[in-house]
Amino acid sequence: MTTAPSIAHRDLPTASGSLARARSLVAPALDEAVLRLSPELRSAVRHHLEGGGKFVRAGLVLLSAAAVGGDERSGVVGAVAIELVHNFSLVHDDIIDGDLERRHRPTVWAEYGIGQAIITGDALVTLALQLLLEEPTPPRVNAALRLAEATQEMIAGQAEDMASEQRSVLSVEECLHMETGKTGALLSCAASLGAVLAGAPAPSVDALADFGRHLGIAFQAVDDLLGIWGDPSVTGKPVGNDLRLHKKTLPVAVATANGAPEDLKTLLSEELSDGDVEAAARMLDECGAREQTVAIGESHLQAALGALERVPLELAATAELAAIAHYVTARDR
């Protein structure tokens, strides 16, 4: 969660190296998988994929294979499947949120229409499971089931998020449950899928899955902090956007649990001017919500790193997993 590298971090491999390697292994296989989609859908899929993406989930899959002593290449099919499911969720979420841009390009629905975006997402999630099931070895079948379960949990998290829009208050526990579903489920699956495909024993798979789940919550805590206090030139989102949209984020849930002052409660429910957004952010800071959210994120990052020490894993891959964990939870990203 720290922005300046500490002495300990200086000895870690860089996340960018791991992610570049993941991209070079997985991107060609992903392109090949897309060729199997109906020609009518490929244009929308390529438009979406060409926007980029950091291959964090793909990197976690490959490293989890290496962490249990497997060949990273055995994880490629899982990495492709995870990226397909991740992109399915982005394409559908952009419709749901009404977002016109992603990665500085029009979203699929904005460019091709809602109908086309719906079936594009449908095709991606279906293809992910097809890929894993086509060679039905026990590890691949197990991987397919775990991916389907993670997808269902992610959809449930999205459903909780949408339902929360109708509510004025969300408890910290409810907020964490929702964020675990939306972000933690797929990261947990990614961080263990390579180990599953490599045929690792259950304790190793479970430890890696826990690493990914805690990392997802830590990531989401940082995302929520950046949505309120982030630098728009870095995040690419308007400042205070989450406050303006009355999103039920972790800092807001923490403030509510702390017994937020009436002024803040009012600001969290009304239409906000730029001055109001600044005032709300300042009041959230003053009531300790920012600090406590940082602490929640930090504790889940530590829990994630701790999970990696629970079982014997390959040291080099484990160091790379830790580097990715620090990278995705850095507050200057």
Among 12, 27, 49, 118, binds a copy of itself (CB under 8 A): 118
Residue type, 44: A
Nearest to a copy of itself of 151, 329 (CB atom): 151
**Residues sharing a CB contact under 8 Å with residue 76, sequence separation 6 or more, in sequence order:** 25, 26, 29, 62
Site string for a copy of itself, 21-60 (x = CB under 8 A): ----------------xx-xx-------------------
Site string for a copy of itself, 54-93 (x = CB under 8 A): --------------------------------------x-
Contacts with a copy of itself by CB under 8 A: the residue count is: 39
Considering only residues 202 through 231, tell me which ones interact with a copy of itself, judged by CB under 8 A: none
Nearest to a copy of itself of 116, 258 (CB atom): 116
The answer to whether 20 contacts a copy of itself (rule: CB under 8 A) is no
Nearest to a copy of itself of 123, 191 (CB atom): 123
Among 68, 125, 264, 287, binds a copy of itself (CB under 8 A): 125
CB of 37 to a copy of itself, least distance (A): 8
| Stretch in the footprint of a copy of itself (CB under 8 A) among 48-56, 73-81, 122-130, 323-331 | 122-130
The answer to whether 114 contacts a copy of itself (rule: CB under 8 A) is yes
The answer to whether 149 contacts a copy of itself (rule: CB under 8 A) is yes
Among 152, 168, 171, 273, binds a copy of itself (CB under 8 A): 152
Distance CA 123, CA 298 (A): 37
Distance CA 228, CA 59 (A): 28
Residue type, 96: I
Distance CA 159, CA 184 (A): 15
Nearest to a copy of itself of 45, 284 (CB atom): 45
The answer to whether 169 contacts a copy of itself (rule: CB under 8 A) is no
Nearest to a copy of itself of 129, 322 (CB atom): 129
The answer to whether 107 contacts a copy of itself (rule: CB under 8 A) is no
Among 59, 75, 121, 230, binds a copy of itself (CB under 8 A): 121
- Do 80 and 131 touch, CB atoms closer than 8 A? yes
DSSP collapsed to 3 states, the chain: CCCCCCHHHHCCCCHHHHHHHHHHHHHHHHHHHHCCCCHHHHHHHHHHHCCCCCCHHHHHHHHHHHHCCCCHHHHHHHHHHHHHHHHHHHHHHHHHHCCCEECCEECHHHHHCHHHHHHHHHHHHHHHHHHHHCCCCHHHHHHHHHHHHHHHHHHHHHHHHHHHCCCCCCCHHHHHHHHHHHHHHHHHHHHHHHHHHCCCCHHHHHHHHHHHHHHHHHHHHHHHHHHHHCCHHHHCCCCCHHHHCCCCCHHHHHHHHCCCCHHHHHHCCCCCCHHHHHHHHHHHHHCCHHHHHHHHHHHHHHHHHHHCCCCCCCHHHHHHHHHHHHHHCCCCC
Among 64, 87, 107, 151, binds a copy of itself (CB under 8 A): 151
Nearest to a copy of itself of 174, 276 (CB atom): 174
Among 83, 160, 224, 320, binds a copy of itself (CB under 8 A): 160
Per CB under 8 A, residues contacting a copy of itself are 37-38, 40-41, 92, 95-96, 114-116, 118-119, 121-123, 125-127, 129-130, 133-134, 136, 138, 141-142, 144-145, 148-149, 151-152, 155-156, 158-160, 162-163
